[in-house]
A and B are shown apart, each in its own frame.
Chain A
Amino acid sequence: DAKTTQPTSMDCAEGRAANLPCNHSTISGNEYVYWYRQIHSQGPQYIIHGLKNNETNEMASLIITEDRKSSTLILPHATLRDTAVYYCIAPPIKAAGNKLTFGGGTRVLVKP
């Protein structure tokens, strides 16, 4: 997997946008960036993924820099339920078993 680097933790005010950065400077041209989150002891939840272009869905937006060496996940209006560990990954195109391997992630605390 391309190595990804994320801040260990960050706080966010409820109702404000949360911007979560991720560095992936070794990503190859055909590897996607995926974001997942895990609320305490619940199953990981897929959020969004992208290759080059910015992507948006009902949960979040993903902004990928033109050189693809970094990206930012944006939660537009954070709620208390968005408190979770967020994982940015860039898995290889064909990994055995399609396994997901999470690093340390960013622990996001949304405060009232």
Chain B
Amino acid sequence: EAQVTQNPRYLITVTGKKLTVTCSQNMNHEYMSWYRQDPGLGLRQIYYSMNVEVTDKGDVPEGYKVSRKEKRNFPLILESPSPNQTSLYFCASSITGGLYEQYFGPGTRLTVT
């Protein structure tokens, strides 16, 4: 089944403890992206990647890192999480950059205390 997977789905952590949220797609998509969704603020793009080894900042990149060493994986790294990064995170992919037909993962609900 074609899909985007994220792990973990739920995570409660403490301030400053490094964490990684994984994202993987099995559709051979070139483009991948990370969003966060907060009440009243809608979807906001964190980082995106047009292809392997090509990443760029979205609208809210502060406090996050990404890497794209393989086409299928696009992990989101929080080096020192803070409470304001408590949010619902979504990974998305599409066949190529330039397309708005994007496929989303199920989401990761992160709570930082």
Contacts and interface: CB of A to CB of B under 8 A. Distances in A.
A54 to B, nearest CB: 17
B48 interface: yes
B105 A99 contact: no
Given A41-B88, A49-B100, A99 B45 contact: yes
Contacts, number: 62
Interface stretch (A5-13, A21-29, A69-77, A90-98): A90-98
Given A42-B106, A43-B90, A99-B59, A49 B45 contact: no
B79 interface: no
- Majority-rule SS of A interface residues: loop
A98 B98 contact: yes
Given A44-B90, A102-B42, A102-B43, A97 B48 contact: yes
A42 B9 CA distance: 11
Contacts of B24: none
B106 A99 contact: no
B66 to A, nearest CB: 12
B106 A94 contact: no
B94 A98 contact: yes
Interface residues of A, number: 19
Interface in B61-96: 88, 90, 92, 94
Interface string A34-53: 10000001111110010000
A100 B92 CA distance: 10
Interface of B: 4, 31, 33, 35, 42-43, 45, 48, 56, 58-59, 88, 90, 92, 94, 97-107, 109
23 contacts: A34-B100, A34-B101, A42-B106, A43-B104, A44-B92, A44-B104, A45-B104, A46-B101, A46-B103, A89-B100, A94-B98, A97-B33, A97-B45, A97-B48, A97-B56, A97-B59, A98-B48, A98-B94, A99-B58, A100-B35, A100-B43, A100-B92, A100-B102
